[in-house]
């Protein structure tokens, strides 16, 4: 058993990583006090459904919460909600909360997540302009997505496209503005981008790529978006242009930060008593390069590693990352991280709405993108983990069963 | 409210109330019933919510769709005839009394 009862671990952030860390700490037999402090007024909840079923109105709020209320008392975790942490005093080992009270810690876990990148300050003051990160954002956006509403989505990434899909299916008139040359430029290959551009267009969405939003027009409320020399009327605007890691607390406290709170594979920061996990971190990838991942999988698995470390049983976080996105009736599943120079292998035909793209590096699968092709995704994940060599021509040949590669 | 029974690999049974419209997976996770991991939160993206449905109940469930079938093939625990991904099983009033067994491990 580890951890004297008199010790206290404070978890800063009441999200996916935070709640996983609490559960894992107790599973490891940690006996000290655990306090979780979150800035939102909600207990930990899952974010993926926010831009999908929850926005569509198909998912009750109750179902978003990651654990039942009884979990916190049962695991002896004190929950402090609606209370931002303002500062960390590493010498005195205490944190200062927004109400100016302080809490001492023996060890700390930073699971502060990330926040939407703003296109500019003015965007947050114009009525009808929305970002999407939390429950409150979606509750404010949903009533605007009515039949005939002119929705302009700025950003053709997961958030923007998932919202576009929900809105289009609710009868809104949707325009998506993507600044780069294709949809989801950071996360999928050109074949998959093109496929999704066509799918959205087929649902009546106006797809504009190479279209950076130049300005938002409106007095008190939004009237139009300007892009590519065009004035696009808008009743509602949804902006999804990425997130920024919430690393300010760590930076101000003198912890090493570089596109996120820098941690090693054991989720340790530059302070031996402080760990970090989830969207807020910058950490080693499988090949040693550093990455910042924005995903449920990373939050959960990295939190497990952090908890193990906090419980005195250091565990290296070394998992193949995976992601998914639901748009219309299509499930996009991705594993691994593609890099320029990878050999891409298409398996199946996009026209059938069921296909995959494998990324090979040194003759091995480094990443896979699968559209309604769960078997390809799972086998791809296994191959990334095993490092087994594959022949590109066989992978491309749908007459060769995907299971034979496993 | 329908009652769902989850029986762990060690034989311990848990019977809980699960609202109509929730998934069998959510019923377990929200009631802290061990044995179902649900890494992806119910998106049919991870196969860690694998359960063995009691044979008496198996026929009463809507059949597996292609996505579930594909993902099931790669569940960690051995597949049985009544294997299902519990995130895909929607609770209805007709499923009151449903019994499922959870595998020893989901990984």
Instruction: Tell me the pLDDT tens digit for each residue of A51-63.
Output: 999 999 999 999 9
d(CA A38, CA A10): 11
Tokens at residue A77, please?
A: 């975790």
pLDDT interval class at A137 (50, 70, 90):
very high
Q: Cα separations (Å) of A36 from A66, A239, A324, B87?
A: 14, 30, 28, 28
User: For A202-261, what is each residue's pLDDT tens digit?
Assistant: 999 999 999 999 999 999 899 999 999 999 999 999 999 999 999 999 999 999 999 999
Confirm or reject contact between A228 and chain B (CB < 8 A): no
Tokens at residue A29, please?
A: 């037999």
pLDDT for position A230: 98
pLDDT for position A125: 86
pLDDT for position A124: 81
Interface residue ranges in chain B relative to chain A, Cβ cutoff 8 Å: 21-22, 26, 29-32, 39-41, 43-47, 67, 70-71, 73-74
User: For B77-88, what is each residue's pLDDT tens digit?
Assistant: 999 999 999 999
pLDDT for position A394: 96
pLDDT interval class at A1 (50, 70, 90):
very low
pLDDT for position A121: 77
User: For A171-196, what is each residue's pLDDT tens digit?
Assistant: 999 999 999 999 999 999 999 999 99
Helices (H), A258-349: 296-310
Q: Which of B51, B84, B73, B63 is nearest to A373 (CA)?
A: B73
Cβ-Cβ contacts under 8 Å, B43 against chain A = 48, 324, 326, 331
State the SS3 of A94-163: EEEECCCCEEECCEEEECCCEEECCCCHHHHCCECEEECCCHHHHHHHHHHCCCCCEEEEECCCHHHHHH
* Residue range B13-32: mean pLDDT, rounded: 94
Helix A158-169 to helix A190-202 angle, to the nearest 10 degrees? 20
Cβ-Cβ contacts under 8 Å, B41 against chain A = 46, 48-49, 66, 296
pLDDT interval class at B45 (50, 70, 90):
confident
Total CB pairs under 8 A between chain A and B: 53
The CATH architecture annotation of domain A118-239 reads: 3-Layer(bba) Sandwich (3.50)
A44, A374, A375: best mutation site toward chain B, by most B Cβ within 10 Å? A374
**What residue has token string 């691994």?**
A336
pLDDT interval class at B43 (50, 70, 90):
confident
* Residue range A28-41: mean pLDDT, rounded: 97
Q: Measure in Å the smallest separation between the Cα of B70 and chain A Cα atoms.
A: 5
Q: Which of B22, B32, B45 sits opposite A71 (nearest CB)?
A: B32
Please say if the pLDDT value at position A123 is more than 90: no
pLDDT interval class at B39 (50, 70, 90):
confident
In CATH terms, the superfamily for domain A8-115+244-310 is FAD/NAD(P)-binding domain (3.50.50.60)
What are phi and psi for residue A317, nearest 5 degrees? -85, 110
Please say if the pLDDT value at position A288 is more than 60: yes
Tokens at residue A275, please?
A: 């760990």
pLDDT for position A3: 65
The domain defined by A329-405 folds into: Enolase-like; domain 1 (3.30.390)
d(CA A34, CA A303): 15
Each domain of chain A, given as residue ranges in start order, spans: 8-115+244-310, 118-239, 329-405
Burial of A64 (0-12, 13-18, 19+ CB in 10 A): buried
d(CA A309, CA A316): 9
User: Are the Cβ atoms of B22 and A331 closer than 8 angstroms?
Assistant: no
Confirm or reject contact between A370 and chain B (CB < 8 A): no
Q: Which of B32, B41, B67 sits opposite A68 (nearest CB)?
A: B32
Measured between alpha carbons, how far apart are the two ends of chain B, in Å? 31
Write out the DSSP string of A185-232.
Answer: TTTS-HHHHHHHHHHHHHTT-EEEES--EEEEEESSBEEEEEETTEEE
Q: Cα separations (Å) of A281 from A18, A51, A111, A247, A264?
A: 13, 23, 8, 8, 10
- How much of chain B is helix, strand and coil, in % rounded to 5? 20, 20, 55
d(CA A138, CA A126): 17
Identical fold between A8-115+244-310 and A118-239: yes
What are phi and psi for residue A201, nearest 5 degrees? -60, -40
Question: For chain A, what is the mean pLDDT?
Answer: 96
Please say if the pLDDT value at position A272 is more than 60: yes
Tokens at residue A212, please?
A: 């950076």
Domains, chain B? 3-101 (3.10.20.30)
Cβ-Cβ contacts under 8 Å, B47 against chain A = 378
Q: Which of A326, A373, A375 sits opposite B73 (nearest CB)?
A: A375
């Amino acid at each position: 058993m580890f951890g004297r009862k008199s010790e206290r671990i404070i978890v800063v952030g009441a999200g996916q990583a935070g709640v996983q860390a609490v559960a894992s700490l107790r599973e490891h037999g940690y006996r000290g006090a655990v306090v979780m402090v979150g800035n939102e007024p909600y207990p930990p909840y899952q974010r993926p459904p926010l831009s999908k079923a929850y926005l569509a109105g198909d998912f009750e709020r109750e179902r978003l919460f990651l654990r039942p209320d009884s979990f916190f008392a049962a695991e002896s975790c004190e929950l402090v909600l609606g209370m931002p942490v303002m500062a960390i005093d590493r010498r005195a080992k205490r944190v200062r909360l927004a109400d100016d009270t302080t809490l001492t810690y023996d060890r700390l876990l930073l699971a502060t997540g990330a926040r939407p990148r703003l296109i500019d300050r003015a965007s947050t003051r114009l009525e009808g302009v929305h970002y999407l990160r939390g429950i409150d954002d979606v509750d404010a956006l949903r009533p605007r997505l009515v039949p005939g509403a002119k929705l302009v989505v700025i950003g053709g990434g997961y958030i923007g496209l998932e919202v576009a899909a929900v809105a289009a299916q609710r009868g809104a008139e949707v325009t998506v503005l993507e600044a780069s040359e294709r949809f989801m430029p950071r996360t999928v290959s050109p074949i998959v981008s093109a496929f999704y551009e066509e799918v959205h267009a087929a649902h009546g969405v106006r797809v504009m790529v190479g279209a950076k939003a130049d300005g938002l027009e409106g007095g008190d409320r939004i009237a139009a978006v300007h892009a590519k020399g065009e004035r696009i009327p808008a009743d509602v605007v949804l902006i999804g242009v990425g997130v920024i890691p919430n690393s300010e607390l760590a930076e101000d406290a003198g912890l090493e930060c570089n596109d996120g709170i820098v941690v090693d594979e054991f989720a340790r920061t530059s302070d031996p008593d402080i760990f970090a996990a989830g969207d807020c971190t910058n950490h080693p990838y499988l090949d040693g390069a550093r990455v910042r991942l924005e995903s449920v999988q990373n939050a959960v698995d990295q939190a497990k590693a952090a908890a193990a470390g906090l419980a005195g049983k250091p565990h290296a976080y070394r998992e193949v990352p995976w992601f998914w996105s639901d748009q219309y009736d299509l499930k996009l599943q991705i594993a691994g991280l593609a890099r320029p120079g990878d050999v891409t292998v298409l398996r199946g035909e996009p026209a059938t709405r069921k296909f995959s793209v494998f990324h090979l590096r040194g003759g091995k699968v480094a990443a896979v993108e699968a559209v309604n092709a769960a078997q390809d995704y799972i086998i791809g994940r296994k191959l990334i983990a095993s490092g087994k060599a594959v022949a590109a021509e066989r992978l491309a040949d749908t007459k060769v069963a995907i299971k034979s590669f496993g | 409210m329908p009652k769902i029974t989850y029986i762990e690999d060690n034989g311990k049974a848990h019977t809980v109330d699960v609202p109509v419209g929730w998934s069998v997976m959510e019923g377990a996770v929200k009631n802290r019933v061990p044995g179902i991991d649900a890494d992806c939160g119910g998106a049919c993206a991870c196969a860690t919510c694998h359960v063995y449905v009691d044979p008496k109940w198996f026929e009463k469930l809507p059949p597996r769709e292609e996505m579930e079938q594909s993902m099931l093939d790669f569940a960690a625990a051995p597949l049985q005839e009544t294997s299902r991904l519990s995130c895909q099983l929607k609770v209805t009033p007709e499923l009151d009394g449903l019994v499922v067994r959870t595998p020893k491990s989901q990984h």
